[in-house]
Structure 1
Amino acid sequence: MGAMAMAVPVVRRHECASVYLIHAAGTFENGLGVVGKPLAGNLTDVLPSFAAVGLDSSAEYDATVAEGGQTMGDLIANLSSTCPEQKFILSGYSKGAMVVHATDLSDELKSHVCGISVFGDPDDAKGLAAGRGLADVWPIVDPVIGVNVAPFCNDGDAICDGGLDIATHLAYATDGSVTQAAAVLAAACA
């Protein structure tokens, strides 16, 4: 699987859980990472049949984004073949948000994705990677911001908003963004 490998910190495991969170962690993070852990915890509280896994990150930026997108897509395909009724939530923090954008799915697999959340997304319109033109590219059928897609970019965030404040980029796990995302995702995936 190259530089990006799957970790297996499962929050709550059900054989063929109704909803499965796949979270791509940020740079130098492993497993669910600093944002994925509280997101999974919030979703565990509201979704009765739920499981979660995190994709590990490595320091190689461009290569891991492409590899991460491939890994995420392969995981969805494998889980869908085993559990055809399963729905997926895709999530990513920082570089992990770029992995979500880079996940190329068939229309059939996109129909299994019920919700997406990204935090501190470099592909955002004002983000560091805005030139890639992926701000509005989502691996889901009929993406609607606030309904089945929940993007979070704090004002002044140095990574997604063109600002100079790295502290705002590090705040998503504790500033209420995760709780808001879980509410949107739970409603979209219930």
Structure 2
Amino acid sequence: MLGGLGGGGTGGGLLQGLMGGLGGGTDNSGGGGCKKYKIISARGTGENQARPTGYAGFISGVLSAVPDGGNYEVRYAADVNYATGPGVGAADAIRYITEQHSSCPKQMYVLIGYSEGAMVITQLMNKPSLPAENVVAVVMYGNPYFKGGAPQNSCGAKGGAGVAAATGISMPAKFSSITFDCCNPGDMVCQTAGTMITHLTYPRSANEQAAIKFAVEKIKAGKGVDAGSGGTSTDSSKSAAGGGLQSLLGGLGGGGGGLSNLMGGMGGLGGSGLGGLGGGGGGLPGLGGLGGGSKRRRARQ
């Protein structure tokens, strides 16, 4: 998910290549007008802005189960600039939610992020202006900020730490009761050790169904976060020592480039492996490199 996930320059993303036909697609216009709830979604690296596939099943499942919902796909590059890209996405999300909240003060929000998108959602939750009382559910897949032992850890991995956990950025504790932070054992993004293949196993899985059930129950309960409860975690503007995320993760890809080398900018589908993973060798046969340089369409609000 992190790292281009592209296929030949069309912006389709690795998930489209490996899991084509996932179906659905999202209402990138935001659903229009006031709704009972809006799903605010932030895609992973290289996913198409207009039709991301990684959480399409989640979105369609929730929208089918609870009437009068809409979806807004966060506008950001979703490229390999992990130091600042998630902050750009969080800024777009809070802009949209602020505008919506002004016109639709009773509208509820479900937040979902996959991979780099989970970084966007985490930074969004740290925004002081977020109307937390209207946020009823948060779902994250393969979260780079994942931290073991947290009460919101909802899938197989309960311990360990994500590749960006050492930045000190994490979600405010007050959101834990409404958060489904899903990390699979062996997911190299939310566990640091493991494989990229495992990072791609959330769609169409039992965990996806559990996430849908979780969000549906929270929407029906209609209870957001008490704005005065808990505390906030490290502010998203603060970076770890050593130049932030990019330098913090330097060397994971076999030489100084951080996540950009580890997972990003890797050719189109059809090569001989996860190019660049672990320093470039043959990688994992059959997953031809996770593409970069894709063209992305801007969604219209």
What does residue 144 of structure 1 align with? 176
| Residues 44 and 117 in structure 2, CA contact (< 8 A), matched pair in contact too | yes
Greater radius of gyration (CA): 2
What does residue 3 of structure 1 align with? none
Paired with 1:183 and 1:49, the residues of 2 have a C-alpha distance of 17
What does residue 49 of structure 1 align with? 68
AA matched with 1:58 = A
* Richer in helix (by share): 1
CA displacement, residues 16-75 of structure 1 (integer Å, 9 cap, x when unaligned): 110100110000112352222111111012111111121243312222111111111111
Q: 1:108: Cα distance to partner?
A: 6.4
Deviation >3 Å, runs of 4+: 11-15, 104-108
If the length of structure 2 is used for normalisation, what is the TM-score?
0.55
| Residues 58 and 209 in structure 2, CA contact (< 8 A), matched pair in contact too | yes
What does residue 93 of structure 2 align with? 72
| Residues 65 and 95 in structure 1, CA contact (< 8 A), matched pair in contact too | yes
Indicate yes or no: 2:115 matched with 1:94. Answer: yes
1:180 and 1:15, CA in 2 relative to 1: closer, same or farther beyond 3 A? Answer: same
What does residue 200 of structure 2 align with? 170
| Residues 157 and 164 in structure 1, CA contact (< 8 A), matched pair in contact too | yes
Paired with 1:88 and 1:13, the residues of 2 have a C-alpha distance of 13
| Residues 90 and 120 in structure 2, CA contact (< 8 A), matched pair in contact too | yes
**Gap regions ≥5 residues in structure 1:** 1-7
Paired with 2:142 and 2:101, the residues of 1 have a C-alpha distance of 28
Q: 1:174: Cα distance to partner?
A: 2.2
Paired with 2:130 and 2:120, the residues of 1 have a C-alpha distance of 20
Paired with 1:63 and 1:134, the residues of 2 have a C-alpha distance of 13
AA matched with 2:167 = R
Aligned residues: 178
What does residue 30 of structure 1 align with? 48
Paired with 2:214 and 2:102, the residues of 1 have a C-alpha distance of 27
Q: 1:144: Cα distance to partner?
A: 3.1
Paired with 2:53 and 2:216, the residues of 1 have a C-alpha distance of 20
% same residue: 22
Paired with 2:78 and 2:91, the residues of 1 have a C-alpha distance of 15
| Residues 39 and 70 in structure 2, CA contact (< 8 A), matched pair in contact too | yes
2:139 to 108, 117, 132: 117
AA matched with 1:143 = F
1:63 and 1:144, CA in 2 relative to 1: closer, same or farther beyond 3 A? Answer: closer
* Richer in strand (by share): 1
2:164 to 111, 120, 129: 129
CA displacement, residues 133-167 of structure 1 (integer Å, 9 cap, x when unaligned): 234x14xx83234xx11011000101001222111
The two structures, once aligned, show a CA RMSD in angstroms of 2.1
If the length of structure 1 is used for normalisation, what is the TM-score?
0.85
